[in-house]
Amino acid sequence: MARRYDDSDIEVLRAQLDRPVTERTCPLCGHLGLRSYHREKLGRTTPSMINYLWCSACHGYSSSFTAAERRTVDRDPLQDAYGDRVPELMRDPEGLLVILDGYWEDGRLPQAMIRRR
């Protein structure tokens, strides 16, 4: 069952920002190797990113909303597969993380951040 990281978990994660995501440790279960997913959100005054960071072992996760500035992602397999239904998927964290884990396992994730043209 998915469990959102609390404030103390986020502090543990912040202390690991100098490491690649795959070399960070889950503050809930100690699993080494977190995963990430980024979704570009358009339609606002400026492009934004919805970001997910999660543990594949226990499904501890965090999500955030940040300015995309001049960044975008090289691909979005969730958008490609589900289109307009993505917001519906995001309302079910466990189901979303199961789908995203599948994308990691078959090589469609991780994404690369690239400069927007």
Q: Which residue has the higher pLDDT, 71 or 13?
A: 13
What is the arithmetic mean of pLDDT over 79-100?
96
Q: Nearest Cα to 50, choosing from 14, 79, 29, 27?
A: 79
Structural domain boundaries of the chain? 3-115
**Residue 40 dihedral angles phi and psi, to the nearest 5°:** -75, 135
Largest Cα span, the chain: 40
Q: Which of the 8 DSSP states describes residue 84?
A: G
pTM: 0.92
Digit-coded pLDDT (tens) for 35-78: 999 998 866 678 889 999 999 999 999 999 988 888 889 999 99
Q: Is the pLDDT of residue 116 over 90?
A: no
Note the pLDDT of residue 43: 66
